[in-house]
Amino acid sequence: MFPRFAHALIDRSVRFKLSLGFGLVLQLTLVITATGWYALQHTIEHSHQLSIIARLSHITKGMRADRIAFRVLNDTRSQDNVRRQLAEINQHLGALRERIEDPAYQDLLERQRGSLAAFQDALDELGRTVDDRERLRSQLAADLEQASLTVARTQASVLVASGTFGTGIEWQPLVAAIEQLRQQIEHSHDSVETPAYTFASPQDYSQQALQAIERLDEILQQIRQRIGSLPATVIGDPVALVATLTTYQASLMQFREAQTQTATLHERMETLGGLLLDGNDALSLGQTEKRDRDTRRSNRVLIAVAALALLIGALSAWVISTQILVPLKRSLKVAEHIAAGDLSRDIRVERGDEMGQLQQALQRMSQGLRELVGGIGQGTARVAGAARQLSGSTEQTSTRIGRQRDEIDQIATAMKQMTATAREVAQHAEAASLAANQAEQQARDGDRAVAESIGQIVQLEQEMQQCTAAMTTLKQESEKIGGVLDVIKSVSLQTNLLALNATIEAARAGEAGRGFAVVADEVRSLAQRTQDSTEEIEGLVSALQNGTQQVAQRLDKSRGLSRSSVESSRRSGSKLTGISRSVSQILGMNEQIAAAGEQQSIVAEQISRSVLQVRDMSQQTAHTCDETAAASLQLSQLGAQLQRLVERFKV
């Protein structure tokens, strides 16, 4: 079967094969997923059912606790809680009945619903019974009070009668019986009032209460016998005592029966609650077992489907890999032969899929490579010859370019020198222009300085004239001082003579003229100093007159020199003006020379750059020729190498 299946897939495309294989795997994966989903849904459903059952058990246990609380506390709240929980249990049982379809579990659910209905009926009956019991409890309390009062009165009457009638009657047994009756009444009441749940069973409670009531009846019969023989005046009305106690006994019996019935209903509800819990446990156990069975069945199905998927996947992988790898290995072997240079092998194609197309492509590639290698071999020989010719031509071109580059270098050197010379001429012209500008500026400054000098010399001449006039005035005044000095000199001489005469006269006078002689001496010394000072002043005035005369003469010479300086300065100003005009002409010519030199420098630089560009181009051309020669050599070597490589192919 598999060989025919494999043969049928030979001409199918790789896409079809891969799609078939992956499709089978995906279908099996879908089956596994569906099986797992089905098992998961069943598990979830069982989990929901178990959750509801667990909730049922929890509510049932809570209901049992509330029922016990109602039994002990007898309150409405506990009773309402029990009724609410009964409704919840009924609701959950209905939900389970809709979810569970197994007939066996449907019967169990029906039994649960029956137990729940019986529990509801018992709870309703318990409510009525509790109401009757509480009513009887109130009646029992009233009868107990009446009986206790009647017994107390009877006991008091007997005690009074025992003191009145003396010891002729046996009072002590009667008093003891009445006391025992009173105690038994209390005991009977306590026995009946004791909660029935404190006993092992309602029957035990009923038996204990009945025994207490029967004991009360026995004591009452004894008292009736003892008081029957006594006078009526001793104990009053014995009929009322017996009637009151009989009524109390009847109330005890009724309350005992109500208490017993209540306990019986509680026991029935306890039994029904146990049945509900047992049913819940049975449901939980059954659903757990069913869940486990479904889980085991799902696991077996999953294992079987997974094994089948693995088997089919492995077979599909083997078939598809065989369909792809076998021709691929053949094609790879052919490709290895081609890579080794063996182009003489042909490929026999027997398939119609992509592997067959690949083999056909390899066959076409082999044929194309044969033709290509043959053409490359022929072209390689031609390329090698052309490369050798190109190498020779390139060497000659490189030699010529070398000589051309040397000549261009010489031209470039000459252009550099010419450019430098033109630049120096331009620089010198600029320097001369600057110097001419400076000379022109200095000539203008000199012209202004000469004009200022002329003005100052003229002013100096005027000042010289004023000085000459002042010196003349000074000479005249000094001559006047000489006249005054002559007067002072003659006065001092006369004073000296007068003082000398006075001294002589004082000497002649003796002691009387001594003081006058002293004064005369002082006057003579003063006159002598005045004469000396006058002579010194005369010498100074004479020197001043001589200096004034010399100054006047020099001032006359200076005034002459000033006039000649003014004439010379004016001639210098005229010459400086001529120099300024000449410098302006030189400045214009220098600017023309500088402009021409700058233009010549620019043209020389352009020529130099052009020559340098030509030299660079020749260098690049030489470098290109070298590269071309190297490339030609490499091309020749590559042609030889390519020829050797082509010879490796077997066509």
Task: Supply the DSSP string of 96-148, one letter for each residue.
Answer: HHHH---HHHHHHHHHHHHHHHHHHHHHHHHHHHHHHHHHHHHHHHHHHHHHH
Give the bridge partners for 650, in sequence order. 342
- Give buried/exposed letters for 188-201 (b at 16+ CB in 10 A, else e): bbebbeeebbebee
Q: Establish if 348 belongs to a structural domain.
A: no
Q: For 446-492, give the DSSP string.
A: HHHHHHHHHHHHHHHHHHHHHHHHHHHHHHHHHHHHHHHHHHHHHHH
Q: Establish if 264 belongs to a structural domain.
A: yes
pLDDT in tens, 382-410: 766 666 666 666 667 667 667 766 766 77
Please indicate, yes or no, whether residues 416 and 489 belong to a single structural domain of this protein: yes
74: left (phi > 0), else alpha (psi -120 to 50), else beta? left
CA–CA dist 453, 105 (Å, integer): 152
Mean local confidence (pLDDT), 42-64: 79
pLDDT in tens, 136-156: 888 878 877 887 777 777 767
Mean local confidence (pLDDT), 309-320: 77
Residues 6+ apart with CB under 8 A from 54: 284
- Residue written as token pair 């137990």: 115
Please indicate, yes or no, whether residues 314 and 360 belong to a single structural domain of this protein: no
Domain residues for the domain of 431 are 356-648
- Among residues 347, 321, 344, which one has the least CA distance to residue 332? 347
Q: Establish if 25 belongs to a structural domain.
A: yes
Please indicate, yes or no, whether residues 36 and 113 belong to a single structural domain of this protein: yes
Cα-based distances in Å from 56 to 62, 83, 84? 10, 14, 13
Helix or strand or coil: residue 343? coil
Report the greatest alpha carbon distance in the chain.
222
Please indicate, yes or no, whether residues 66 and 153 belong to a single structural domain of this protein: yes
Domain closes at, from 264, 298, 318: 318
Q: Which long-range contacts (CB under 8 A, 24 or more apart) does 431-437 make?
A: 432/586, 432/590, 432/593, 433/587, 433/590, 433/591, 433/594, 436/583, 436/586, 436/587, 436/590, 437/587
Please indicate, yes or no, whether residues 310 and 380 belong to a single structural domain of this protein: no
CA–CA dist 129, 395 (Å, integer): 139
State the average pLDDT for the chain: 72
Please indicate, yes or no, whether residues 453 and 363 belong to a single structural domain of this protein: yes
- Among residues 114, 117, 55, 107, which one has the least CA distance to residue 286? 107
CA–CA dist 375, 363 (Å, integer): 19
Please indicate, yes or no, whether residues 306 and 436 belong to a single structural domain of this protein: no
**So what's the pLDDT on residue 168?**
45
Q: Establish if 483 belongs to a structural domain.
A: yes
Please indicate, yes or no, whether residues 298 and 365 belong to a single structural domain of this protein: no
Q: Which long-range contacts (CB under 8 A, 24 or more apart) does 297-300 make?
A: 298/35, 298/36, 298/38, 298/39, 298/42, 298/43, 299/39
Q: Establish if 333 belongs to a structural domain.
A: no
CA–CA dist 390, 392 (Å, integer): 5
CA–CA dist 591, 42 (Å, integer): 117
Please indicate, yes or no, whether residues 309 and 394 belong to a single structural domain of this protein: no
Asked whether 394 and 642 are in contact (CB, 8 A), the reply is: no
**So what's the pLDDT on residue 328?**
72
- Cα distance between the two ends of the chain: 44
Asked whether 95 and 52 are in contact (CB, 8 A), the reply is: yes
Q: Establish if 259 belongs to a structural domain.
A: yes
CA–CA dist 178, 171 (Å, integer): 11
- Tally of CB atoms within 10 A around 147: 25
Residue 25 has pLDDT above 70, yes or no: yes
Please indicate, yes or no, whether residues 98 and 207 belong to a single structural domain of this protein: yes
Q: Which long-range contacts (CB under 8 A, 24 or more apart) does 134-138 make?
A: 134/74, 136/251, 136/254, 136/255, 136/258, 137/193, 137/255
Helix or strand or coil: residue 1? coil
- Among residues 120, 117, 130, which one has the least CA distance to residue 76? 130
Structure tokens, 290? 């069913």
**So what's the pLDDT on residue 648?**
58
pLDDT in tens, 153-196: 776 766 766 666 555 455 666 667 777 777 777 777 777 677 76
The winner for highest mean pLDDT among 69-78, 205-214, 428-437, 530-539 is 69-78
Structure tokens, 205? 């409670």
Please indicate, yes or no, whether residues 388 and 245 belong to a single structural domain of this protein: no
Residue 502 has pLDDT above 50, yes or no: yes
- Residue written as token pair 């089948």: 308
- Residue written as token pair 């009457």: 157
Helix or strand or coil: residue 194? coil
Q: Establish if 324 belongs to a structural domain.
A: no
Q: What is the CATH number of the domain that holds 394?
A: 1.10.287
Please indicate, yes or no, whether residues 289 and 366 belong to a single structural domain of this protein: no
Give the bridge partners for 295, in sequence order. none
Domain closes at, from 318, 344, 376: 318
CA–CA dist 327, 452 (Å, integer): 123
- Among residues 121, 138, 142, 146, which one has the least CA distance to residue 258? 138
CA–CA dist 635, 619 (Å, integer): 23
- Residue written as token pair 């509510």: 59
Number of structural domains (the chain) is: 2
Domain closes at, from 267, 292, 318: 318
The winner for highest mean pLDDT among 44-53, 448-457, 556-565, 638-647 is 44-53
DSSP state of 10: T
Q: Establish if 339 belongs to a structural domain.
A: no
HSE, side-chain direction, 13 A CA sphere, residue 207: 6
- Among residues 322, 320, 326, which one has the least CA distance to residue 25? 320
Sign of the CA dihedral with 222 first, then 224, 225, and 227 last = positive
DSSP state of 551: H
- Kindly report the CA angle at 420 between 416 and 426, in degrees rounded to 5? 145
